[in-house]
Amino acid sequence: MSRTSLVRFAWLSIAAAAATIALKAAAWWLTGSVGLLSDALESFVNLAAAVVTLAMLSVAARPPDEEYAYGYSKAEYFASGFEGTLILVAAALIAMTAIERLLSPRSLEHVGVGLAISIAASAVNFGTARVLARAGRHYRSIALEADAQHLMTDVWTSAGVVVAVALVWLSGWLWLDPVIALAVAAQIVWTGVGIVRRSVVGLLDRALPAAERRAIDAVLDGFRGQGMEFHALRTRAAAGRSFVSMHVLMPGTWSIQRGHDMVEEIEARVRGAVPSATVFTHLEPLEDPASYRDEPLDRGAV
């Protein structure tokens, strides 16, 4: 599947968000529970985030061009960053509503029907989150992973709200409803901060995960035994794409053709070890002292 087709997962998220908004709003309207209201408000965040994810996945799928030679894949980080910000805004709105209800408690109505509707909405979110999580891991899409993580958080907070509302119904402790809503807000803040942090780290060109760097080192170790060395190895991730660059040091007596063939093999092996990787190599003679002047990562400072 091409990255262009990932937009269908965003449409799935939009449909799920619309369905859960309708269900949770109905549950809140029937019961008057501020806990269920907090759950419904988060679903509006889900919808807004899904729309932005759709737009950014469409941008990220564009092929490289003269102006953006490395492609548009980083657009996904804007989607996940926006989603994290929306989560924090929703948490603030939930907390404000919960504090107001804590100061002015109100009894709940039609709790049984309202809880059944809320559980149905959570089932929709759970199924959608599982699909998005699998797609996000498989295609290395941070936008889909963030959407899936948000939906799963929604599922767990919804479960907490359902339990709390049931306890209020059975015990008559009206204060428990807004207290649980505040706990939901705190959990949402934690999720939002995590998503924003991942987006910022991605935009800062963080190196590939340690497991992938070890896989690259394993590939290079196989060539070191053939009389070659490597330095200035740099990696970075850009949403679904990976970039690897290195300097390859070979004996100066080798022919250009032999050096070219070896570099081609090295690049192919690295691409096999790191899916979706773009590999850049720079060939240098092993015996020339000038080949070692650019070992530091910041070549411009040498």
> Based on the domain organization, do 44 and 174 belong to the same domain?
yes
pLDDT at 215: 93
Distance in angstroms (rounded) separating the CA atoms of residues 86 and 96: 16
Distance in angstroms (rounded) separating the CA atoms of residues 42 and 55: 20
Name the nearest CA neighbour of 270 among 229, 219, 227: 219
> Based on the domain organization, do 28 and 172 belong to the same domain?
yes
> Based on the domain organization, do 113 and 135 belong to the same domain?
yes
pLDDT at 108: 60
Distance in angstroms (rounded) separating the CA atoms of residues 242 and 233: 13
For the chain, the domain total comes to 2
93-137 confidence digits (pLDDT tens): 777 777 776 777 666 656 667 778 778 888 888 888 888 888 887
**Residue 58 belongs to domain with CATH number:** 1.20.1510.10
> Based on the domain organization, do 94 and 113 belong to the same domain?
yes
Distance in angstroms (rounded) separating the CA atoms of residues 24 and 119: 9
Could you give the maximum distance between any two Cα atoms of the chain, in Å? 87
Which element (helix H / strand E) includes 238?
strand 229-238
**Burial of residue 255, with CB atoms counted within 10 A of its CB: 0-12 exposed, 13-18 middle, 19 or more buried:** exposed
> Based on the domain organization, do 281 and 181 belong to the same domain?
no
> Based on the domain organization, do 176 and 256 belong to the same domain?
no
Phi, psi torsion values for 24, nearest 5 degrees: -70, -35
pLDDT per position in the chain (302 positions), as tens?
455 567 788 788 888 888 888 887 887 787 777 666 766 776 777 777 778 878 877 887 787 788 887 777 777 777 778 777 877 777 777 777 777 767 776 666 566 677 787 788 888 888 888 888 888 877 777 777 777 877 777 777 777 777 777 777 777 777 776 777 787 778 778 777 877 887 777 777 788 888 899 999 999 998 988 889 998 899 988 766 788 999 999 998 999 999 999 999 999 999 999 877 889 999 999 888 877 776 665 655 44
- Would you say 192 and 91 are in contact if contact means Cβ atoms under 8 Å apart? yes
The alpha-helical segments, DSSP class H, found in the chain are 7-31, 34-60, 75-103, 111-139, 142-171, 176-203, 210-224, 256-273
Question: How many other β-carbons are positioned within 10 Å of the β-carbon of residue 250?
Answer: 21
> Based on the domain organization, do 10 and 120 belong to the same domain?
yes
Q: Which of 203, 227, 254 is the last residue of a domain?
A: 203
pLDDT at 15: 87
Q: What letter represents residue 163's amino acid?
A: V
> Based on the domain organization, do 97 and 182 belong to the same domain?
yes
Tell me the CA distances in angstroms from 249 to 158, 229, 237, 278, one per residue in order: 57, 5, 25, 20
In the block, which residue shows the tokens 């479960």? 159
Which domain does 216 fall in, by range?
A: 210-301
Q: What is the dihedral of CA 65, 281, 205, 68, to 10 degrees?
A: -10
Q: Which of 163, 188, 203 is the last residue of a domain?
A: 203
Sign of the CA dihedral running 243, 247, 251, 252: positive
> Based on the domain organization, do 196 and 275 belong to the same domain?
no
Name the nearest CA neighbour of 1 among 268, 240, 277: 240
pLDDT at 105: 67
- Would you say 263 and 229 are in contact if contact means Cβ atoms under 8 Å apart? no
Q: Which of 203, 225, 248 is the last residue of a domain?
A: 203
pLDDT at 191: 74
Distance in angstroms (rounded) separating the CA atoms of residues 248 and 261: 12
Name the nearest CA neighbour of 107 among 165, 43, 48: 165
pLDDT at 295: 63
pLDDT at 220: 93
pLDDT at 302: 46
> Based on the domain organization, do 192 and 142 belong to the same domain?
yes
Question: CA end-to-end span of the chain, whole Å?
Answer: 43
- Would you say 240 and 143 are in contact if contact means Cβ atoms under 8 Å apart? no
pLDDT at 34: 66
Which element (helix H / strand E) includes 169?
helix 142-171
